[in-house]
Amino acid sequence: MNATAKISSDALSSFRLDGKVALVTGGSRGIGGGCATLLAQAGADVAIMARNLQDIEATAAEVEAAGRRTYPLACDVTDASAVIAALAAVPRIDVLVNSAGGNRPQPFLDVDEATYDRLFDLNVKATFFVTQAVVRGMVARKQGGSIVNVSSQAGHVALQDRSVYCASKHAIEGFSKTIAVELAPLGIRVNTVAPTFIRTPMVEPYLQDPAFTDYVLSRIPLGEIGRVEDVATAVLFLASPAASLITGTCLRVDGGWTAQ
């Protein structure tokens, strides 16, 4: 930008998602729930995918309170056929946020095959095939789209007793970069958001241990445990036209953890 260039007067409006439809997996609570609510506040109708319909209803109420339509999709994201069937209820998808995921910390030598399979099914397989199903629709409409995969700082560094989780999140980072390049000519952007430990129902039990909390805070230069809204605002930015020239990258919401 030269010295005389000016920011367009509608630059702030590019953070809006008016007229768009977003799908959020794992959208019933935690990071996914926060993303679903914020995307609705930015103007999008939101399809919420999770296993339990009752859990979806709470987030759906927040979407509707923002004046947007919601599509509750109760299915197991690890079942590719069920996902495809559920998506039939949604007219189109312009934004996909893959937030469904899980963790089960174990020392490497204690990892069992069931844990490995469960975490890779949920963290990798589900993201892969949900994305594939959604992108097929985007390609058919020829209107582009935006995909944001919720990864983790564990996709960039090692974390104690989390060999399977780290491996799965490194896989998401590689997957996202690869399809970002492949889908760019089709006008489909793909990025990741990599949070540190965030106060969610999945993380809170670990934070009840003062020693663990002290360790986490000692690794975060900004000295704060993350909030759901910290992640949701990053997701909104990458999902929106404000990030129209950003693809194949990762926005690390980690307070500086991975900078060390």
Which pLDDT tens digit goes with each residue over 116-144?
999 999 999 999 999 999 999 999 999 99
Q: Is residue 1 very low, low, confident or very high in pLDDT (cuts 50, 70, 90)?
A: very low
Cα distance from N-terminal residue to C-terminal residue, the chain: 31
CA–CA dist 215, 159 (Å, integer):
12
Q: Domain 17-199+229-251 is classified in which CATH homologous superfamily?
A: NAD(P)-binding Rossmann-like Domain (3.40.50.720)
Q: Of 116, 165, 206, 215, which residue is the catalytic one?
A: 165
Q: Residue 22 pLDDT more than 80?
A: yes
pLDDT digits (tens, 9 = 90+) for 108-121: 999 999 999 999 99
Active site residue 165: yes
DSSP H or E run through 193: strand 188-195
Q: What backbone phi and psi angles, to 5 degrees, belong to 159?
A: -125, 135
Is residue 59 very low, low, confident or very high in pLDDT (cuts 50, 70, 90)? very high
State the Cα–Cα distance between residues 58 and 55, nearest whole angstrom: 6
Angle at 216 between CA 112 and CA 156, to 5 degrees: 65
Confirm if 37 and 232 have CB atoms less than 8 A apart. Answer: yes
pLDDT of residue 215: 95
Is pTM beyond 0.85? Reply is: yes
* Adjacent-strand bridge partners of 145: 188
Helix (H) or strand (E) holding 166: helix 163-183
| % of residues, the chain, pLDDT over 90 | 94
pLDDT band with cut points at 50, 70 and 90 for residue 97: very high
pLDDT value at residue 10: 80
Structure tokens given for 68:
């947007």
* pLDDT score for 6: 73
